[in-house]
Amino acid sequence: MADSYPKMIHEVLDEARRKRSKAEVVAVLQANETWALKDILRGSMDSTVEFALPPGDPPYTPGEDYSAPKNLIKEHKRFVYFVKGTQHDVMPAYKRERIFFEIIEGIHPKDAALVVDMTNKRAPKGISRPAVEEAFPGLLKDSS
């Protein structure tokens, strides 16, 4: 019986990392396609996406992995507040950073690490750009 809930993003990426071939990685990514997964991949790999957050790793308190009150599958919709060039550019930095901390402290700690890596343009380890481009054609807007 299939799971009724989508896998957490870190679970999808962990599963993809365990695959031996690019075709298997592509299959895992496509089978678990969500906008949250695509946002993490594009945000970390596409140079046309810039974030309006201070660079580096923020001093935050990760949530408990067994009781994360929020889920990145839903919280990714708030990424729009962090991307430069949107209507949210006028938002004061303290509000933007408060939203960022609400997200990363409320979701699973491994997903939070992915969000922090994304905003610092660090691609998920073990996931190649060619695999992402094959899994989701047109997702990455810059040239490789």
- Long-range CB pairs of 54-60 (<8 Å, 24+ gap) are 54/97, 55/120, 56/120, 57/116, 57/120, 58/97, 58/100, 58/101, 58/104, 58/116, 60/101, 60/104, 60/105, 60/112
Whole-model pTM: value is 0.91
Is residue 1 scored above 80 in pLDDT?
A: no
Residue 81 CB contacts under 8 Å (≥ 6 apart), including other chains: 88, 91, 96, 99, 100
Q: Are 131 and 29 in contact (CB under 8 A)?
A: yes
All structural domains of the chain with their residue ranges: 9-135
pLDDT at 84 over 80: yes
The residue among 140 and 62 whose pLDDT is bigger is 140
Whether the pLDDT of residue 19 is over 90: the answer is yes
**Euclidean distance between CA atoms 136 and 55, whole angstroms:** 27
Q: Are 38 and 139 in contact (CB under 8 A)?
A: yes
pLDDT at position 24 over 60 = yes
Q: 140, 127 in Cβ contact below 8 A?
A: no
Mean pLDDT of the chain: 92
Q: Which tens digit of pLDDT belongs to each residue from 32-47?
A: 999 999 999 999 999 9
- At 111 the pLDDT is 96
Name the residue with higher pLDDT: 12 or 87: 12
pLDDT at 63 over 90: no
Helix (H, G, I), strand (E, B) or coil at 131: helix
Q: How far is the CA of 17 from the CAs of 85, 97, 124, in angstroms? A: 32, 31, 9
How many beta carbons lie within 10 A of that of residue 53, not counting itself? 18
